[in-house]
Structure 1
Amino acid sequence: MTTMSSRRTVLAAALGAAAAAVTTPGPAFAAPSGGGTIDYHAWLTPADWRHGTAHGTRPRTGHRPGLVIDRPAGTLDHQDPHTGTTATWEYATWTGPVHRLPVPASEIVTSWNAHAPSGTWLQVELRCAYTGGGHTPWYVMGRWTAGDAAGDIRRTSVDGQKDGRSSVSTDTLAVDAPATGLRLASYELRLTLLRRPGSGLTPTVWRLGAMGSDVPDRFTVPASVPGVGAGRELRVPRYSQEIHKGQYPQYDNGGEAWCSPTSSQMAVEYWGRAPSAADLAWVDRAYADPQVCQAARFTYDYQYQGCGNWPFNAAYAATYRDMQAVVTRLRSLNDVEKLIHAGIPVITSQSFLASELDGAGYGTAGHLMCVVGFTHGGDVVANDPASATDTAVRHVYKRRQFENIWLRTKRRNAQGQVKSGTGGICYLYFPAEPSAAQCRALAAVGVR
């Protein structure tokens, strides 16, 4: 049986220190809505970056606009908890304007697309206003760099962040007791860009976004009727996570722990991107599909001790040439159909008993797979990496079963205990310059 690849646990220690001082938020900035109780908003154009408050950062124009270090705002000493090394870094910050959620949220997940060469890194922080008054602290949602060269920080989430009303679990900020009616009314995002003193290097952030949602507690969801995706299947490469069992214990040992990076790699390669032979030179030549090992290594979260950090997977995908990636929620399989019809595969996160998904042959407390199409009758065609071989990865799952296990927020495990579901979480990977049809499909699900 496949076990939970994204082993999310409620965190319980003190708040990690922020890298820079709080800055004054700018004016409210309207955003497209993801519809209903889901709102994804992003900053990605020079005009977007200018709506924030900069201390040492500036927008860079050109082929792919982004936010970069213009001049350091100061220096700080940072001790990496995973290497024990303390180093001095120059930093600059950008604080986004207040984004008021159309519907107050019980959860927020951030994601970003960036380039961070060796000797640089970035930190993403989130602060929210409560509907009952007051604010959260500045929560660290990730400390990230693209690589893991000697002397670089280790890519990491931050444990122990809470204030008695909300807390961060790896990559998700959630209200602790949503049944009380407390919600998150608005939020601000803060970027801190860091580099070695005097190096002149800079991270470049192309996209920074957050998905706020208030999906109601539910064991079942309404069934959707097959739509525009029926009969459409994308030619997405097929990779098995299971053939990697026991590989690279330092990146969580392969096999069932690698569903997220394996799904990410399938979607990345669908778009014609792949690591070079030089990139893969570190992988044991006896291992098949070395690019899956590459994805596991560069999505690995050293605090979480796994490869299932949602924004780290999106950030990995966006390190490939002219790629974008977001973490969001969708409302139904009709949303997935719109994306498939436009040529965009969808990586979904779900949990289920073996009896709840015919043909899977396993149960899981958390698993990622790549939806690549639909049959003419509307059933789901998925590249499920929890398969014995690459050739066995393609599965057809019953539409009603798949939709329910993916969208529900409550479920019962094999012991009858009530556990959480993912409520429609997905990764969307697409080109920096999507086609007009792809832009329309993305806009229809609240992504620009």
Structure 2
Amino acid sequence: MTRSAPRRTVLAAALAAAAGVAAPTAQADEPRGASAGGAAPATDPTAPDAAHRTKSLVDHHAWTTAADWDQGTARGTRTAHGPRPGVVIARPVGTADYRDPHTGRTAAWEYATWTSPVHPLAVPATEAVASWNAHTPPGTWITVELRGRYSDGTGTPWYVMGRWTAGDGDADIRRTSVDGQKDGKSSISTDTFALDDPAGGLRLTSYQLRLTLHRRPGTSLTPTVWRLGAMASDLPDRFEVPASKPVRVGRELVVPRYSQEIHKGQYPEYDNGGEAWCSPTSSQMIIEYWGRKPTQQQLSWVDPDYADPQVCHAARYAFDYQYEGCGNWPFNAAYAATYRDLQATVARLSSLNDAERLIHTGIPLITSQSFLKTELDGAGYGTAGHLMTVIGFTQDGDVIANDPASPDDKAVRRVYRRRQFENIWLRTKRHDANGQVKSGSGGVCYLYFPVKSAPSQHRVLRELGIL
């Protein structure tokens, strides 16, 4: 039984780097976030293992600092300094009409742009996913675009990776991906840039990102963008991935437990109700782990008879009106980053050892996987695409997950066999129940963490390439 809307069909990646053993060093700093269980072994979870001493097949990059923003090309934008630097509108460079395809309304919007420097890829890529963290007051929104250079010397067009606003009222556009974008060599599938024929040898060798900040004409409103980046990768097709050896295990983080299933039939305008809400339900669990949640006023629109109204809220505000679902990866990350001092990004990891290092410093993660019912013991379902949270590891190294595809909140905590979980998460080729070849996520995950992280957390995120 599929418990979430299927993801894109154009994922042609898989995973390489096998995991190794963490080098022994000093005890890690105490992380933020509540935790329980397991005394720490005498190894440092922040020490890079063998997988990270070899060449990575994933390139993570982001612009976040004042110096980063100052390196870009500003047309009507400026760098806003402070504890969390960002890009804002200084003086609009023009006004343009936008017809919202989901409301049918046409309106004029002032705009200004910021264009990143060219980022050369250490990993010439077959895929790329952009993500961003922003504040968009009512009456403002942003467009994120990507333009790349191919290994044959030609370039891509500017591809729209998302038109996004935090809001959902009459003053706002509707959050949307853009279908039908292609140039004969690559195309955009919802939120993912992908080469059409990776086997042909063509690769993306560099990219730029462009922000367009929009606001109602004649106002002083402005979006603020704090983080902008992309994850690019070139991963070989795999039905199976190498098994990792448990290294840093025996820790479980105390994460709220929410079931998507109790919301079945609620607000069907958002992807037919809760049964397809695995992504926002997982996001809300991790947001609340970090001590953030929507206010009662923000939840006032939810039927008071519904349990866990914050899950309904997350589904509404992660919803992609073009994809007609709540599973747009960057939209979930952007929703998480609307909460105070949270950063969020879409990433790709290479083994469960990466996840162990994050968990041991107090950072849970949200993983994307697809599998048959027979491929994950204890799940009780199969799915073409599903998100769940990894919150810990048993002493034997098995995965402790908060799985939102559970009948109620009490049943959300699950323990899944390590080898099964690692394979269904990291592979990018699989067979469905009819024997047809389908795609897998190749280790995609969401990472949400505070702007001011503990030293051990910052070190692990840096070593994984996230910071």
TM-score in terms of structure 1 length: 0.94
Match of 2:26 in 1: none
Match of 2:442 in 1: 423
Match of 1:24 in 2: none
Counterpart of 2:317 (choices 295, 298, 306) is: 298
Preserved contact between residue 35 and residue 446 of structure 1 (Cα < 8 Å): no
* Contiguous gaps of at least 5 residues in structure 2: 12-51
Quote the Cα distance in structure 1 between the aligned partners of 2:6 and 2:141: 24
Counterpart of 2:368 (choices 329, 349, 352) is: 349
Quote the Cα distance in structure 2 between the aligned partners of 1:343 and 1:34: 25
Quote the Cα distance in structure 1 between the aligned partners of 2:10 and 2:103: 24
Aligned: 1:274 with 2:306: no
Counterpart of 1:308 (choices 327, 332, 349) is: 327
Preserved contact between residue 262 and residue 295 of structure 1 (Cα < 8 Å): yes
Could you list the per-position Cα deviations for residues 212-234 of structure 1 after superposition, in whole angstroms to 9, with x for gaps in the alignment?
00111000000001112x10000
Could you list the per-position Cα deviations for residues 303-332 of structure 1 after superposition, in whole angstroms to 9, with x for gaps in the alignment?
000000000000000000110000010000
Counterpart of 1:440 (choices 430, 453, 459) is: 459
Matches for 1:310-389 after TM superposition, within 5 Å:
310-389=329-408
Preserved contact between residue 34 and residue 446 of structure 1 (Cα < 8 Å): no
Q: Give 1:152 deviation, angstroms.
A: 1.2
Match of 1:8 in 2: 8
Match of 2:134 in 1: 114
SS at match of 1:135: coil
Q: Give 1:404 deviation, angstroms.
A: 0.4
Matches for 1:181-220 after TM superposition, within 5 Å:
181-220=201-240
Match of 1:29 in 2: none
Match of 1:14 in 2: none
Quote the Cα distance in structure 2 between the aligned partners of 1:308 and 1:405: 18
Preserved contact between residue 33 and residue 39 of structure 1 (Cα < 8 Å): no
Could you list the per-position Cα deviations for residues 402-445 of structure 1 after superposition, in whole angstroms to 9, with x for gaps in the alignment?
00000001000000001111000000000011110110111121
Preserved contact between residue 33 and residue 40 of structure 1 (Cα < 8 Å): no
Preserved contact between residue 217 and residue 409 of structure 1 (Cα < 8 Å): yes
Quote the Cα distance in structure 2 between the aligned partners of 1:354 and 1:440: 37
Quote the Cα distance in structure 2 between the aligned partners of 1:278 and 1:308: 25
Counterpart of 1:136 (choices 146, 149, 156) is: 156
Preserved contact between residue 4 and residue 277 of structure 2 (Cα < 8 Å): no
Aligned: 1:158 with 2:215: no
Relative contact order: is structure 1 or structure 2 higher (C-alpha 8 Å, sep ≥ 6)?
2
Quote the Cα distance in structure 1 between the aligned partners of 2:164 and 2:220: 19
Preserved contact between residue 6 and residue 307 of structure 1 (Cα < 8 Å): no
Q: Give 1:53 deviation, angstroms.
A: 0.5
Quote the Cα distance in structure 2 between the aligned partners of 1:2 and 1:394: 19
Matches for 1:1-150 after TM superposition, within 5 Å:
1-9=1-9, 36-150=56-170
Match of 2:37 in 1: none
Match of 1:252 in 2: 271
Q: 1:75 to 1:34 in 2, by over 3 A?
A: farther
RMSD of equivalent CA atoms: 1.4
Could you list the per-position Cα deviations for residues 136-188 of structure 1 after superposition, in whole angstroms to 9, with x for gaps in the alignment?
11000000000111131000000100011100000000000101011101000
How many corresponding residue pairs? 427
Preserved contact between residue 280 and residue 315 of structure 2 (Cα < 8 Å): yes
TM-score in terms of structure 2 length: 0.90
Could you list the per-position Cα deviations for residues 243-264 of structure 1 after superposition, in whole angstroms to 9, with x for gaps in the alignment?
0000001111223210000000
* Contiguous gaps of at least 5 residues in structure 1: 12-31
Q: Give 1:10 deviation, angstroms.
A: 5.7
Quote the Cα distance in structure 2 between the aligned partners of 1:34 and 1:46: 31
Q: Give 1:5 deviation, angstroms.
A: 2.6
